[in-house]
Amino acid sequence: MDRYFLTTAIYYINDRPHLGSVSETIAADFLARYQRKLGKQVLFSTGTDEHSQKVERTALALGQPVEQYTQEAAASWKALFDKLEISYSRFIRTTDADHIRVVQEIFQKLYDQGDIYKGSYDGWYCVKDEAFLLESDLVDGKCPHCGLEVQHVSEINYFFRLSKYQDALLAWYEQHPDFVQPQMRYNELVNVMRGGLRDVSVSRSTVKWGIPVPFDTDQTVYVWFDALINYATVAGYGTDRFAVDWPPDLHLIGKDITRFHGIIWPAMLMALNAPLPKHIFAHGFWNFEGEKMSKSLGNVVDPSALIASLSNLIGIDEPMAVDTLRYYLSREGTYGLDVDFSSQRLLLRFNTDLANDLGNLLNRTLNMFGKFRPQITGYPLEPKPALSELFTTTVAAVSSDYGSLQFSAGLEKTWMLINVLNKMIEDDKPWALARDGNGEALATHLATLLTGIWYIANMIEPCMPTVSSRILTAIRRSQVPWGALQWRGPGAELPESTSTVLFPRVQPDQLEEFLAAQATRKTVPGTGTPSPEPPRTESGLISIDDVTKLQLRVATILEAERVPKTDKLIQLHVKVGSEERTIVAGIGKHYDPAVLIGKQIVIVANLQPRSLRGITSQGMLLAASAGDEMALLTPMSPIPDGAEIH
């Protein structure tokens, strides 16, 4: 059986988990589940980085013995990962006995072979980043990464001969152009190496909370040297298993720790004569209102609090709220780049993608099975052959997206299938088929829906395991490996239940309540920390900050139809870049729906969704009016939809 070894960074436990930190493990879990669906045997590790000066200081500040502090903190990280359905094979703690043994063994070996030597360090140290810094690295005397004060450190310690591996590393990069992804991170690292590598300090004489250097008990191993080795511990370094499990297929990390993973770690492995990891992928950051989430800014989003409030607000159980969060994190933005967290966008995704598109498809299908069952008895339950190719090619395309960590693109394609099925219900008009006694066509219609939903439930499993299994239970079909998805009928087992409302839609007043609760408390969910006051100006004028709050974008109208029983409202289905939305607009007295199709318009893309005549409108279009006249705003020349208006 093919194997796949995937790791996340291990988390410092001096801070509570925030949305940014858990997003990495959720992305890794998505990938791990997908690899399992491909039939691979997956080794997937995540865990906690427990030594270091800052952990020692945090425990001291709380008046707790550091062992007790780390024990409790690690347990709470692990409990959160379990709640988030992280299917890790090993939750590694750097205080685990096997890890301590491996770190000491490696330190000794590198010392014995001359790759580690004793020297003296005189320079700067950033406790927040646990990083040694040169005078020339500092910006205004502060840490170039976090901007905090640095400590002057002058101590005898041990150095790793990084400089010796500079040429070998550069050659490796040249021969493996996809070693580090995305490309910009690869380029950054090559530039750093071309600038010259210095030997790095790998022990501390003033930090007690660390793994003792085996041959010099006055020193502890530098936390990064200790932490990087966790990957080797997971693969059983020093045992027979290492030959089987090593090297990792992928180290998934954030963009802030690429030098440790892309330079120091490969050099350590070269010194150990061990194969290098196949790939390193450095993702971007989840920000809050454009700023990096950090405790000092008071803008961290607490995942547990967010899950609890989602669950209370919408009335779904916690596993469903977890899947909603997993979906949002995977669907929003391009993986690798920075993304801004917005609770509004989270609820919008819930209402449109989950409740409207997926939830409705399932409900309508189950309801029809309940109603029309007698009429299809005796007819073959075979899905429409015409859709076979679309489903088969989409499965292949989604597979390639997931495999290259383009989670959002893969989900978007899956949603295209959901929308094809929803549209098929409109086109086939199954209630008319039932009324006319056309049992055969009705059976084909329902078999197509069931087969399509079976595909979709399987394709979303890596992202939303609970939703996937609940849908499969409802339609009485099973989870299958990726390669076993075949366009064939449902067999004898038909759904029994007539309705399963997986995603109750968020009503506008609930949405307002959720957003208002955050606005009036002026806190980020779960932190209790005030967020900054919005800027104010005098005399009714608005500031540039107010203008930049508006996200205006170009959209192309795909479909337009009158909302029944009104002459004013038109329901538009528009495309905004890679996304499709429904917008209800009061332009019915001025425009005929037919003339709107294909036109480009300007929409407010970040408006709270609202319900108009039972239809959720996801944005507002811009139109000029004077007296009885109205004109839609449109770009002067065609431009790709999704384009932003500045």
Residue ranges in contact with ligand MSP by CB under 6 A: 9-12, 20-21, 23-24, 49, 227-228, 230, 253-254, 256-257, 285-286, 292-293
Two structure tokens written together for 83: 């709640």
* Mutual angle of helices 265-272 and 166-175, in 10-degree steps: 100
Residue reference for tokens 């994190």: 329
Nearer to ligand MSP, 295 or 488 (CB): 295
Report d(CA 324, CA 183) in Å as an integer: 31
Least distance to ligand MSP, CB of residue 471, Å: 29
Helix (H, G, I), strand (E, B) or coil at 626: strand
Q: How far is the CB of 73 from ligand MSP (least distance, A)?
A: 12
User: Cα(433)–Cα(446) distance, rounded to whole angstroms?
Assistant: 11
Measured from the CB atom, is 23 or 556 closer to ligand MSP? Answer: 23
| Closest residue to ligand MSP: CB criterion | 254
Residue (245 or 559) nearer to ligand MSP, CB:
245
Tokens of 521: 């408390």
In angstroms, the Cα distances linking 531 to 79, 141, 484, 536 are: 28, 28, 50, 15
- The closest alpha carbon to 558, from 361, 425, 423, 453, belongs to 423
Q: How far is the CB of 643 from ligand MSP (least distance, A)?
A: 27
- Is the omega angle on the peptide bond into residue 182 within 30 degrees of 0, that is, cis? yes
User: Contact, 558 vs 624, CB < 8 A?
Assistant: no
Q: Which is nearer to ligand MSP, 49 or 357 (CB)?
A: 49
Question: Which single residue is written with the structure tokens 């439930």?
Answer: 457
Q: How far is the CB of 466 from ligand MSP (least distance, A)?
A: 23
* CB of 18 vs ligand MSP, minimal distance in Å: 7
Would you say 50 or 428 has its CB closer to ligand MSP?
50
Instruction: Report the alpha-carbon distance of residue 475 to residue 453 in Å, rounded.
Output: 8
- The answer for residues whose C-beta is within 8 angstroms of residue 260's C-beta and 6 or more apart is 224, 228
Structure-block tokens of residue 167 = 């040429």
Distance CA 50, CA 44 (A): 19
- Report the C-alpha gap between 456 and 468 in whole angstroms: 8
Instruction: Provide, rounded to whole angstroms, the least separation between the CB of residue 228 and ligand MSP.
Output: 5
Shortest CB 28 distance to ligand MSP, Å: 10
Task: Return the number of the residue (343 or 618) whose C-beta is nearest ligand MSP.
Answer: 343
- Minimum distance between the CB of residue 292 and ligand MSP, rounded to whole angstroms? 6
From 463, 89, 30, 400, select the one nearest 252 (Cα to Cα).
Answer: 30
Minimum distance from CB of 339 to ligand MSP (Å)?
A: 8
CB 279, min distance to ligand MSP, A: 15
Token digits of residue 412: 């978007």
Question: Least distance (Å) from ligand MSP to the CB of residue 260?
Answer: 7
CB closer to ligand MSP out of 279 and 505? 279
Nearer to ligand MSP, 98 or 256 (CB): 256
Q: Which is nearer to ligand MSP, 228 or 570 (CB)?
A: 228
Residue 396 Cα to chain centre, angstroms? 21
Could you tell me if 62 and 69 are in contact, meaning their C-beta atoms sit under 8 angstroms apart? Answer: yes
CA nearest to 612, candidates 582, 632, 574: 582
User: CA–CA separation, 384 vs 475, rounded Å?
Assistant: 18
Q: Which CB, 266 or 588, lies closer to ligand MSP? A: 266
Closest approach, Cβ 285 to ligand MSP, in A, equals 4
Q: Minimum distance between the CB of residue 269 and ligand MSP, rounded to whole angstroms?
A: 13
- Give CA–CA dist 388/394, Å, rounded: 10
In degrees and rounded to multiples of 5, residue 360 shows phi and psi of: -65, -40
Closest separation in Å from C-beta 254 to ligand MSP: 2
For ligand MSP, give the closer residue by CB, 227 or 405.
227
* Contact indicator for 641, 605 with CB cutoff of 8 Å: no
The single residue listed with the structure tokens 């995942």 is 303
Closest to ligand MSP by CB, 235 vs 474, is 235
Q: With contact defined as beta carbons under 8 Å apart, do 383 and 488 qualify?
A: yes
Assign 542 to helix, strand or coil: coil
**Least spacing, CB of residue 525 vs ligand MSP, in Å:** 15
Phi and psi at residue 250, in whole multiples of 5°? -155, 130
Cα separation, 64 vs 60, whole angstroms: 6
Task: State in angstroms the smallest separation of the CB of 361 from ligand MSP.
Answer: 32
Cα separation, 124 vs 134, in Å, equals: 6
Tell me, what DSSP letter sits at residue 155? Answer: E
Structure tokens at 17: 């988990």
Query: Which tokens hold the place of 633?
Result: 């705003």
Which CB atom, from 20 or from 303, has the smaller least distance to ligand MSP?
A: 20
The angle subtended at Cα 205 by Cα 199 and Cα 210, nearest 5°, is: 95
Q: Which residue lies nearer to ligand MSP by CB, 225 or 487?
A: 225
Task: Kindly state the DSSP code that residue 505 receives in the 8-state scheme.
Answer: P
- Pick the closer one to ligand MSP by CB: 295 or 371: 295
Instruction: Give the three-class secondary structure for 585.
Output: strand
Residue 53 vs 394, nearer CB to ligand MSP: 53
Which residues contact residue 641 at a Cβ distance below 8 angstroms, ignoring those fewer than 6 apart?
Answer: 553, 554, 555, 556, 574, 575, 576, 577, 600
Give the Cα separation of 27 and 5 in Å (integer).
Answer: 14
Task: At 264, list the tokens.
Answer: 């120091």
